Amino acid sequence: MARACDLPDIHGHFGSYGGVFVAETLFTALEELLIQYDRYRNDADFQMEYANELKSYVGRPSPIYHAKRLSAHLGGAQILLKREDLNHTGAHKINNAIGQALLAKNMGKSRIIAETGAGQHGVASATVAARYGMECTVYMGSEDMKRQEPNVYRMRLLGATVVPVDSGSKTLKDALNEAMRDWVTNVENTFYIIGTVAGPHPYPMMVRDFQAIIGREAKLQMQEEYGRQPDKLIACVGGGSNAIGLFFPYLEDKNVDMIGVEAAGLGIESGKHAATLLTGKPGVLHGNRTYLIQDEDGQIIETHSISAGLDYPGVGPEHAWLKDTNRAQYVGVTDDEALAAFHMLCRYEGIIPALESSHALAYAAKISPTLDKEKLLLVNLSGRGDKDIDTVSQATGTIF
Ligand SMILES: *Cc1c(COP(=O)(O)O)cnc(C)c1O
């Protein structure tokens, strides 16, 4: 069997997942991307420039922080946080956006496009477009634009054109179709930045490689600061990019458990959730084969999560494979559990976490009391929660 860290194969397969399922018109664009990415991922100058950007623009390395008061309160295993919330723009998404924008620049593309649901990936794309002096168009469902107004304004401040998409359900999947259409038409000068480990090959591999800086740093920092590696890695899973970024460098470290936390929304039984790996079945969506939340006829079912970034009916194909091979374990955390963890981190550590990241925290808080005090749980704090305070105040009120 292939070693986990050697995947995907040359066709982009992680076991039976991944691959390239697109219209013929997109093949040329993907082929060009694959060849160029293959060239630059092995290019010392490119990697050096990427590393410099992460340092001077993003603010890496992000520290590992020991949440001592929270750990003492829970009374069990120690909770450590990988502070992706401290990155420029407040989340891990910038690691990938910078990498793809640099690739675009090296490929001689003058224009980038992106699709966005909650607006976080749109903001990261608009940010790097401004940074490198590129034109930027972001496709966004008109329904999402209403729900995420501050992010639409941020993108416009950064100089991006935000195009409302009025087809279908007017949300993320419709925006994605529009972005694909734009790419096919303008491939000559345009680079399409995908925001998570989804889409056709080579995107799941490429996005993972850019996010793997999280796990590589963590490995060094754990050795230096704690003299050993954590017992468990815990990260939330929407498309799965922050989770695979932390997990990937640890895949061959068999003593390190990996736990991906999906959004169980109002509870798995309610049907209103986004727990793809827990409840979905394999199928094809957005150019790759993976687990999907679908009905008997293969129709995608609408998902729900209090956190917009986890509200996606698919998941990266590498996670599908890690689940089937039992290398990683996947669990669900409800809206209410995530909210409780959100408040706990605010009060015990003075850190306002993103609602997405609060899902990972909630699971750590759940298992910590059952574990020995010497055990180390490394939680990926994928983003900061400033963007979520309105959602939180609507859900819990303003009185504590
Ligand atoms: C977008 C987002 C996520 C979910 O995306 P992944 O690809 O699963 O990492 C998680 N946390 C934050 C803060 C996000 O913005």
Q: Which residue has the higher pLDDT, 174 or 320?
A: 320
Rounded to the nearest angstrom, the gap between the alpha carbon of residue 274 and the centroid of all alpha carbons in its chain is 14
Residue 1 reports pLDDT greater than 80: no
User: What residues are in contact with ligand 1 under a 6 Å CB criterion?
Assistant: 91, 93, 120, 196, 236-242, 309-310, 354, 356-357, 382-383
Annotated catalytic residue within 71, 241, 357, 382: 382
Q: Which of 209, 216, 183, 193 is closest to 97 using CA atoms?
A: 193
Confidence of residue 126 (pLDDT cuts 50, 70, 90): very high
Contacts of 168 (CB under 8 A, 6+ apart): 174, 177
Whole-angstrom distance, CA of residue 191 vs CA of residue 96:
14
Tokens coding 202 = 């080579």
Contacts of 332 (CB under 8 A, 6+ apart): 261, 262, 263, 264, 268, 273, 275, 278
Confidence of residue 215 (pLDDT cuts 50, 70, 90): very high
Pocket test for ligand 1, best of 382, 386, 387, 391 (most atoms within 8 A of CB): 382
Q: Which pLDDT value is given to residue 396?
A: 87
Distance 4 CA to ligand 1 centre (A): 23
Q: Which residue has the higher pLDDT, 168 or 107?
A: 107
Q: Which pLDDT value is given to residue 399?
A: 54
State what percent of residues in the chain have pLDDT above 90: 90
pLDDT per residue over 163-188, tens digit each?
999 998 888 888 998 999 999 999 99
Q: Mean pLDDT throughout 247-268?
A: 98
State phi, psi for 191 to the nearest 5 degrees. -115, 130
Residue 400 reports pLDDT greater than 70: no
Q: Mean pLDDT throughout 225-241?
A: 98
- What average pLDDT is seen over the chain? 96
Asked if residues 355 and 376 have their Cβ atoms less than 8 Å apart, the reply is: no
Tokens coding 147 = 């729900």
Whole-angstrom distance, CA of residue 188 vs CA of residue 11:
24
- Give the three-class secondary structure for 355: helix
Plot region of 192 (φ>0 → left; ψ -120 to 50 → alpha; else → beta): beta
Distance 307 CA to ligand 1 centre (A): 9
Whole-angstrom distance, CA of residue 30 vs CA of residue 192:
10
Atom of ligand 1 nearest to the CA of 195: 7
Whole-angstrom distance, CA of residue 100 vs CA of residue 78:
35
For the entire predicted model, the pTM comes to 0.97
Pocket test for ligand 1, best of 82, 115, 196, 206 (most atoms within 8 A of CB): 196
Q: Mean pLDDT throughout 292-310?
A: 92
Is residue 115 part of the annotated active site? The answer reads: yes
Lowest mean pLDDT across 74-88, 173-187, 264-278, 332-346:
173-187
Q: Which of 176, 198, 180 is closest to 26 using CA atoms?
A: 180
Confidence of residue 398 (pLDDT cuts 50, 70, 90): low
What are the Cα distances from residue 368, in Å, to 68, 79, 298, 371? 12, 8, 38, 5
